[in-house]
Amino acid sequence: MSFIKVFLKVFTSITILLLIYFPIALVILFSLNDSIYFIFPFRGFTVKWYLKLLEDPSFLKSIFNSVVIALAVSAGSLSIGIPASFAFVRLRRNTLFIGFIMIPFIIPWLVIGVASLVFFYTIGIPLSILTVILSHIVYSIPLVVLIIAARLISLNPNYEKASMDLGANQIQTFINITFPLIYPSIAVSALITFLWSFDNFIITFFTIGSDITFPIWVWGSLRHPTNVPVITAASSIVIVVGSLIVYLMETYRIRRGLGVPLII
């Protein structure tokens, strides 16, 4: 047994280090290197790629657009998804409703992208940041419903009944009883929809038109080999900030007992 255990331990550690962390660490490492290729030995420490990046107006615009889109998607999908998750849990014959809500989540993103493109074109809405937001909310609603419904199912319904018995109406009950109890799951779904929207490339690619978001900026810059160090610097910033946010969110989630990370 102990041999198997040692083997699995080594296997797990090596996989995590080499497969998951090594490529990402390299990006950060080489963003400080004075060369346009990922090649050892180091040519010397430099921050010039970061300075060059800050002079690039399209990069700053792409980050700004991505944040705006992600905030709008987060707000929109929460305001639609929170009521839906109540219906998800409380409806008695809900199989049809579950299927209806979940299908956008289980089909490939490419389909949402092209369907939105054709739809917006056909009814004559010009492609812009707005269409990106509208198309991101489609997959965010089921995501929000999954996370919040998982919490609602485990909620004791007697709390709400007691509150109603004591004379509170529906809205008061929600604000004073239900909301504080499900607050962690709301916070987590707000953050996950934000992150996924910020990171989304496949749907954005079809619905962005001539505008720019961060993934679209990376995609465009990849065509020019000389841009590699600049992308590396931009990526390093996003990796560091993003990982910090994800780390805080997931530890919060484990502490609150919100189950396994991500969507389950």
Partner 1 sequence: MNLKKIVGRKLSITLLYSLPAVAYLILFFYIPLITIIIYSFWHGEPLYRITRIFTLENYVRFFTEKLSQNVFILTNLISIATFLVILIVAYPIAYFLARMTYGDVGLKIILLILIPLEMNYLIRIFAWRNILGENGLLNNLLMTFGLVEQPITIFFHSLYAIIIVVLHNALPYAIIPLYITIRSIPESLYQAAMDLGSNKLSVFFRVTLPLSMPGIAISFLFIYVPMMGEFAIPALVGGKTYMLGNFIVRQYLTIGNWPYASASTMSLVLVTLIVMFIVFKFLGVRRLYE
List helix spans (H) across the chain.
Answer: 2-14, 22-30, 48-54, 57-90, 95-106, 109-123, 129-153, 157-165, 170-173, 179-199, 202-207, 214-221, 228-255
**Least distance (Å) between residue 15 CB and partner 1:** 6
Q: Measure the CA–CA gap between 143 and 134, rounded to whole angstroms.
A: 15
Name the residue with tokens 């987590």: 188
Among 33, 66, 74, 135, binds partner 1 (CB under 8 A): 135
Q: Measure the CA–CA gap between 44 and 65, rounded to whole angstroms.
A: 34
* β partners of residue 33: 45
Among 21, 42, 179, 183, binds partner 1 (CB under 8 A): 21
Stretch that binds partner 1, among 43-51, 60-68, 182-190, 218-226 (CB under 8 A): 218-226
**Number of residues near partner 1 (by CB under 8 A):** 87
CB atoms within 10 A of CB 48: 12
Among 56, 228, 252, 256, binds partner 1 (CB under 8 A): 228
**Least distance (Å) between residue 48 CB and partner 1:** 18
Q: Are 169 and 94 in contact (CB under 8 A)?
A: no
Contacts of partner 1 in 53-112 (CB under 8 A): 79-81, 83-84, 86-88, 90-91, 97, 100-101, 103-104, 106-112
**Least distance (Å) between residue 18 CB and partner 1:** 10
Stretch that binds partner 1, among 51-59, 60-68, 179-187, 253-261 (CB under 8 A): 253-261
Does residue 219 touch partner 1 according to CB under 8 A?
yes
**Least distance (Å) between residue 180 CB and partner 1:** 19
Coil, helix or strand at residue 33: strand
Does residue 38 touch partner 1 according to CB under 8 A?
yes
Does residue 149 touch partner 1 according to CB under 8 A?
no
Does residue 5 touch partner 1 according to CB under 8 A?
yes
Does residue 264 touch partner 1 according to CB under 8 A?
yes
Cα–Cα distances in angstroms (integers) from residue 169 to residues 26, 160, 185, in the given order: 57, 10, 23
Among 129, 137, 212, 233, binds partner 1 (CB under 8 A): 137
Among 30, 32, 148, 212, binds partner 1 (CB under 8 A): 30
CA atoms within 13 A on the CB side of 255: 8
72/138 with CB nearer partner 1: 138
- Helices 129-153, 109-123: inter-axial angle, 10-degree rounding: 130
Binding mask 153-192 for partner 1 (x = CB under 8 A): -----------------x---------------------x
CA atoms within 13 A on the CB side of 54: 5
